[in-house]
Structure 1
Amino acid sequence: MDLPRSFVIREGDLRILNPFDAEKLAALGRAVKLRPGTSILDLCSGKGELLCTWARDHGTVGTGVDISTAFTAAARERAAALGVADQVRFVHGDAAVFVADQPVDLAACVGATWIGGGVPGTLEILERSLRPGGMLLVGEPYWRLDPPDQETVAACHARSRDEFRDLPGLVGIFQECGWDLVEMVLADQDSWDRYAAAHWLNLRRWLDDNPDDELAGELRRELTEDPVRHVRYQREYLGWGVFALMRR
């Protein structure tokens, strides 16, 4: 059980594996008013930056679960580097079926609602581990502009226009599922650029070092196609944010 090797290559030395920069991640922690001892479950925790920096800055504790062995190892290294290894732990496993041993104050899935087949199913997964009165954090794309055709939809990694909603429509989904939206921090085009462009540099450096690798052809095509796809479609049409929810 692991992610394909291409994911590890693409993310390279990135610590935040979504279109958030360190300032936005810190702003999110402040916005939801974290307190010392707040318990967090982070499903699809990646390299653990959310749990590790919030443990350092706010005194929180928690568990991260991710399917990637490489990302889980990097998260443990990050916890040790920041001196918070006694506050957080990282589990290699399937986030879709993980349930915390004890209900947590905050349950998060930031940018991986595929684990529940979309937002409603992911909210159900997160709520299994949430204490009454606790908070969910969900990271999810939304349409900034209505995509004019299927070419635009596909370039934004959606199977159909209905796979994502516009921002009012996404907020409507939260409400239909019985959750109040109580905070949000949105990515902007600059943070999208920083995330996307970092992939291009990671890919190019890897290709220079591994020209004969079996993945070289696939990743060469990606490096050729993705910059055009990003500037033509993704940065204009696709938004992304993290939304804080409490059960109505």
Structure 2
Amino acid sequence: MDLPRSFTIREHSHRILDPFTSEKLAILGAAIGLRPGASVLDLCCGKGEMLATWARDHGITGTGVDISTVFLTAARKRTAELGVASQVTFVHGDAAEYVAAERVDVAACVGATWIGQGVAGTVALLERSLRPGGMLLIGEPFWRADPPSQEAVEACHVRTREALETLPGLVALFDGLGYDLVEMVLADEDSWDRYVAAQWLNIRTWLDANPDDELAPELRVELSREPLRYTRFQRPLLGWGVFALMKR
């Protein structure tokens, strides 16, 4: 059970596996009022940067769950670098099936709501681990503008317009699920650039070092195609944010 190699190649240099900078991650931690000793569950935690930096900056304890052994190795290294390895535990497993042994103060799925087949299912999954009065964090893309064509839709890595909400549509969805939206921190074009453009250098560096690898033709096509798709469609059309929710 692991991610395909292409994911780890593409995001080799990344600490945050979403269009979020370290500054925005810090803003989010401060905005939701984290306190020392608060417990945080992060499903699809990636390289664990959220848990590691919040353990350092706010004194939280945490558990991260991810399917990627490569990402989890990086996550454990990061907590050791920051001196918080005793505060954070990482679990290799399917986040879609994980429920915390003890209910937590904050339950998060940041940028991976496919584990619940969408926002509603992911909220229901996170609820199983959240204490009464706790907070959910959902990271999710949304349309900033109406995509002009099916080509534009697919360039944003979804199949249909209906696969994503607008920002007001997301807020209405949260409300319909019985949650108050109590904070949000949104990506901007610069944080999108830092996430996506860094992937191109990662791919190019890997291709130069591994020209005969079986993945080389696929990644060569991706590197030739994605910068134009991103600048033409994804950058102007696609938003992303982390939304803090509390049960009404």
Q: What TM-score do you get using the length of structure 1 for normalisation?
A: 0.99
CA–CA distance in structure 2, aligned partners of residues 46 and 65 of structure 1: 8
CA–CA distance in structure 2, aligned partners of residues 113 and 2 of structure 1: 18
1:83 maps to which residue? Answer: 83
Alignment of 1:1-248 (within 5 A): 1-248=1-248
What is the deviation of 1:148? Answer: 1.5
CA–CA distance in structure 2, aligned partners of residues 154 and 82 of structure 1: 39
Q: Considering only aligned residues, what root-mean-square deviation do their CA atoms show, in Å?
A: 0.4
Secondary structure at 1:222 match in 2? helix
Would you say the 8 A contact 2:13–2:198 is kept in 1?
no
CA–CA distance in structure 2, aligned partners of residues 132 and 76 of structure 1: 30
**Which amino acid is the alignment partner of residue 160 of structure 1?**
T
CA–CA distance in structure 1, aligned partners of residues 66 and 88 of structure 2: 14
CA–CA distance in structure 2, aligned partners of residues 130 and 158 of structure 1: 30
**Which ranges in structure 1 are unaligned for 5 or more consecutive residues?**
none
What is the deviation of 1:212? Answer: 0.3
What is the deviation of 1:188? Answer: 0.3
CA–CA distance in structure 1, aligned partners of residues 227 and 13 of structure 2: 19
- 1:74-118 CA distances to partner (integer Å, 9 max, x unpaired)? 101111111000000100000001000100000000000000000
What is the deviation of 1:44? Answer: 0.1
**Which amino acid is the alignment partner of residue 71 of structure 1?**
F
What is the deviation of 1:149? Answer: 1.3
CA–CA distance in structure 2, aligned partners of residues 121 and 178 of structure 1: 13
CA–CA distance in structure 2, aligned partners of residues 13 and 234 of structure 1: 21
Q: What TM-score do you get using the length of structure 2 for normalisation?
A: 0.99
- 1:151-203 CA distances to partner (integer Å, 9 max, x unpaired)? 11111011110000110001111011111100000000110011111000000
CA–CA distance in structure 1, aligned partners of residues 197 and 4 of structure 2: 20
What is the deviation of 1:239? Answer: 0.2
Secondary structure at 2:84 match in 1? coil
CA–CA distance in structure 1, aligned partners of residues 5 and 181 of structure 2: 36
CA–CA distance in structure 2, aligned partners of residues 77 and 4 of structure 1: 21
Would you say the 8 A contact 2:183–2:243 is kept in 1?
yes
CA–CA distance in structure 2, aligned partners of residues 60 and 221 of structure 1: 42
**Which ranges in structure 2 are unaligned for 5 or more consecutive residues?**
none
What is the deviation of 1:209? Answer: 0.3
CA–CA distance in structure 2, aligned partners of residues 40 and 185 of structure 1: 18
CA–CA distance in structure 1, aligned partners of residues 13 and 29 of structure 2: 23
CA–CA distance in structure 2, aligned partners of residues 194 and 78 of structure 1: 20
Aligned-residue identity in percent? 70
CA–CA distance in structure 1, aligned partners of residues 165 and 117 of structure 2: 15
Would you say the 8 A contact 2:144–2:239 is kept in 1?
yes
**Which amino acid is the alignment partner of residue 83 of structure 1?**
G
